[in-house]
Amino acid sequence: MSTEQPDESGALLDPFRQFLSFERDVLVLSVAMFAFSLSFQMTNRYIPQYLRVLGASSFAIGLFGTVGNIIGAAYPYPGGRLSDRIGSRFALTLFGLCSTAGFAVWLFAPALGTVSVLGATIEPWFWIFVGLFLAQAWKSFGLGATFAIVKQAVPPSRLARGFASTELFRRTAFLIGPLLAAVVLAVAADFTVGFQFVLAIGVAFALVATATQHYLYEPEDSTLGKSFEGFGEILADLRALPEEMRPLLVADTLVRFGNGMVYVFFVIVVTEFLNVGLVWGPLSLSPEVFFGVLLAVEMLVALVSMPVAARLAESVGLKPVVAFGFSVYALFPILLISAPANAGVVALLFAYSGLRFAGLPAHKALIVGPAERDSGGRVAGSYYLVRNVVVIPSAGIGGAIYGGFSLDRLGVSFAGSEPLAFGVATVIAGVGTLYFLAFGREFEAYR
């Protein structure tokens, strides 16, 4: 274990200094990642409410989260193979254009209206799913490459700081995006009109990001996609996962499964279940606008806590920091669904939720740290493949519990219960947290 004591006064600026020392291509890709993250965070967290306005059921909203999980699990490997064939620069441009098109489909979904195809009626909310397959293209592509870059650029005992640098820059977009969306929604006539303006801004940012990476990114070769070279290698990588990573994978999967059950319903809980806005003197924010402020509060806490926690991990180890983040994931759902309809209380809860990100750099360091130096991308890709595949049904299950379901042929029906859905989510994530505390392993460089 390192004996160096964390210097919190310098911890907040240190990630930005380290980030600016990265090579040009890494900076260009990070700027593109920032812009796409801005577009995604402006829009994606409000999509469940958008689906509700377009007539989707609670089950369909949960299914939206499940489809997102499927895409997150399925896209990285074929994306890497395509990059091998056409080169990373053109692959990134293609994925950027796909994401831009996805935001555009979301924008025009209400205008597409209800159509009939082969006797089947397609409601406007269906186009949100079509757009998701496109919008998530860039977001799901570069996961393994990001891990590999940090793995090779940072000493083992400073991995958490290295991930804090890239995460802090990227997640600044998570702070700005919801605030920008809240401002637009505050001045719009209603939610649908305002959110379409938000989507239009998202399209513009995505176009700028695509052009930036296409003209400024100049890779010496096409190695970003070569971490993934076929399903035979995928199976070999899964079998070769470091032994100390397996308890982390089990715990992380349980924590993410619980969170995935209710994540898409956070906006609906705030805007409908609690129906809480903010009235402070002459300031009056609707629940939809207030939700954007809550997301900004959450991310502000995340941005402050991540570099401090990364430095702290060098003194106490990675495991306690990761376990703390898991515990926040576990407790937040039950706290939110049990909260009174009070703006101050809900704001404090979202500030608490931001602390789950404190463990993220340490978590990523614990994933890639045990890997051999040149295999960080493959190890990360294998890890997230397993986790994301298992988590796929979580949102659909959560939606069924949240909104109810009926199986007429079996004579089974359930009216639905918001508190039950959020309670089950907390129990599952809590089991994952306890499992990690009991069986999680520390990375050697942090002992």
Give 197's contacts (C-beta < 8 A, 6+ positions apart).
Answer: 184, 188
Q: Look at residue 51 and tell me whether its pLDDT is greater than 80.
A: yes
3-class DSSP assignment, residue 406: strand
Domain ranges of the chain: 8-218+240-446
Write down the pLDDT at residue 1.
41
User: 194, 188 in Cβ contact below 8 A?
Assistant: yes
Contact 71, 133 (CB under 8 A): yes
Residue owning tokens 């005992």: 157
The pLDDT score that the predictor gives to residue 196 is 95
Q: What is the arithmetic mean of pLDDT over 126-149? A: 75
Average pLDDT of the segment spanning 111-132: 85
Q: Are strands 283-285 and 278-280 parallel, antiparallel or unpaired?
A: antiparallel
Cα-based torsion angle of the residue sequence 131, 122, 111, 55 in order, rounded to the nearest 10 degrees: -90
CA-based nearest residue to 310, from 353, 369, 365: 365
When pLDDT is averaged across residues 80-84 and rounded to a whole number, the result is 62
Overall average pLDDT of the 398-414 stretch? 84
What's the token pair of residue 152? 């090779």
Mean pLDDT of the chain: 82
Looking up tokens 């890239």, which residue turns up?
166
Has residue 22 got a pLDDT over 90? no
How do beta strands 120-122 and 115-117 pair?
antiparallel
CA distances 229 to 76, 143, 223, 240, Å, are: 11, 15, 11, 15
- Residue 317, sorted as left (phi over 0), alpha (psi -120 to 50) or beta, turns out to be left
pLDDT 10s digits, 138-175 = 776 655 455 555 555 566 666 656 666 666 777 788 88
Bigger pLDDT: 447 or 112?
112
CA-wise closest residue to 72 among 40, 46, 104: 40
Region of poorest pLDDT, from 320-324, 340-344, 410-414: 410-414
Report how far residue 48's alpha carbon sits from residue 80's, in angstroms, rounded to the nearest whole number: 30
pLDDT higher than 50, residue 336: yes
The answer to which of 52-61, 74-83, 204-213, 288-297 has the lowest mean pLDDT is 74-83
Q: Residue ranges of the alpha helices (H) in 113-141?
A: 126-135, 137-141
Alpha helix stretches (DSSP H) within 217-342? 231-239, 246-262, 266-268, 287-316, 318-337
Rounded to 5 degrees, what are φ and ψ at 406?
Answer: -140, 125
pLDDT of residue 325: 95
How many Cβ atoms are within 10 Å of 440's Cβ, its own excluded? 22
User: Which of 436, 431, 427 is CA-nearest to residue 249?
Assistant: 436
Where does the pLDDT of residue 362 fall: very low under 50, low under 70, confident under 90, or very high at 90 and above?
confident
CATH class entry, domain 8-218+240-446: mainly alpha
**According to the model, what pLDDT value does residue 2 have?**
42
pLDDT at 331 over 90: yes
> What tens digit of pLDDT does each residue of 226-238 get?
444 455 666 776 6
Percent of the chain with pLDDT over 90: 45
pLDDT of residue 9: 44
Give the residue-averaged pLDDT of 3-23: 50
- Taking the CA atoms of residue 351, residue 353, residue 358 and residue 364 in that order, the dihedral angle to the nearest 10 degrees is -150
321 backbone φψ class: left, alpha, beta (φ>0; ψ -120 to 50) = alpha
Query: Longest C-alpha distance within the chain, in Å?
Result: 69
Distance CA 403, CA 417 (A): 7
0.85 exceeded by pTM? no
